Chain A
Amino acid sequence: MSEAAPNAAETRRIAEAARDRVRFEEEALELSDQVFRVARRLVGSREEAEDLVQDTYARAFRSWRQYQPGTNLRAWLLRILTNLNIDRGRRVQRTPDTQPLEEGDYFLYNKLESSIADENPDEERVIERLSQNSVVDALAEVPHDFRDVIVLVDIGEFSYADAAQILDIPVGTVMSRLHRGRRILKQLLAEKSVIA
């Protein structure tokens, strides 16, 4: 009788761990659409994004014990993903400071508005000058330090704090890159919409 007790406790412990693991895997899989959406814009091609997401889940399922329940699982998965992306030898671009001075925040609006014949058009008509493709193309051309932040905050809807943790940079850097990145994106959009 006395030997049965530890076995029962051990059995219970194993069963609990198995249940925790199942729960972890289910929760992680439920987030896969959102993880893919971010991955797709962090890297250049769909194939790359698919490989990256697959590797991310393989690693997450192996390291599931390192995840602290109750914390942001989506951010935890994206942290793995961005690290894998860097490990894969994403070419390190020069620092943001070497970027050309970008135009102001009104530049795109002014450019689009001037291409419309009407005086003083509504902003809805101005935005119609943009195509979905031009946004995707322009985003891909934004230098990656800036693009990472735009993708996480404006597309992935992560908080500044989560984006800072995922990218391992200070929150202030997230905000300054976000503001400059959006201006660069708008400048690229202005160039594309003028050609089109």
Chain B
Amino acid sequence: MGCGCDGCESMMQPYLDGMLSDEELAEAREHLERCPPCEKRYRFEEHLRHFVRVAADEQMPEELRQRLAGLRSSPPAAQL
């Protein structure tokens, strides 16, 4: 359950988003150095964001690419 400190939990997103003031950031860093459970949860959050980005990725179908190219008003530059 982390270190039982609600402050660290609510600081996590602003910390990772780079939204803390210098003072808050120094305070958060100092705490993380002393608190492996919180540090682990912060690292997990970073991994999770990456995992979500990768998991949500879906390739554009080639057929759609061709349809989009067909919408253009002009011939490709190479033909000009």
A-to-B contact residues, CB < 8 Å: 18-19, 21-23, 25-26, 29, 32-33, 36-37, 40-41, 46, 50, 53-54, 57-58, 61, 104-106, 108-110, 122-124, 126-127, 130, 132, 135-136, 139, 150-151, 154-155, 157, 175, 178-179, 182, 185-186
Contacts and interface: CB of A to CB of B under 8 A. Distances in A.
Contacts of B71: 54, 57-58, 61
Q: Is the interface of A mostly helix, strand, loop or mixed?
A: helix
Interface in B35-66: 40-41, 43-45, 47-49, 51-61, 64-65
A127 B51 CA distance: 8
Contacts of B64: 32, 36, 50, 53-54
Q: How large is the interface on B (under 10, 10 to 19, 20 to 34, 35 or more residues)?
A: 35 or more
B68 A154 contact: no
Contacts of A175: 17, 19
A71 to B, nearest CB: 21
Contact of A37 (B40, B41, B48, B60): B60
Closest 6 A-B residue pairs measured CB to CB?
A: A135-B55, A36-B60, A123-B44, A132-B55, A25-B72, A22-B74
Contacts of B52: 135, 139, 150, 154-155, 185
Contact of B13 (A29, A132, A136, A179): A179
B74 A105 contact: no
A61 B72 contact: yes
Contacts of B25: none
Interface in B14-31: 14, 17, 19
A54 B74 CA distance: 17
13 contacts: A22-B74, A22-B80, A26-B76, A26-B77, A32-B60, A37-B56, A53-B68, A106-B1, A109-B41, A109-B44, A127-B44, A132-B54, A155-B53
Contacts of B53: 154-155, 157
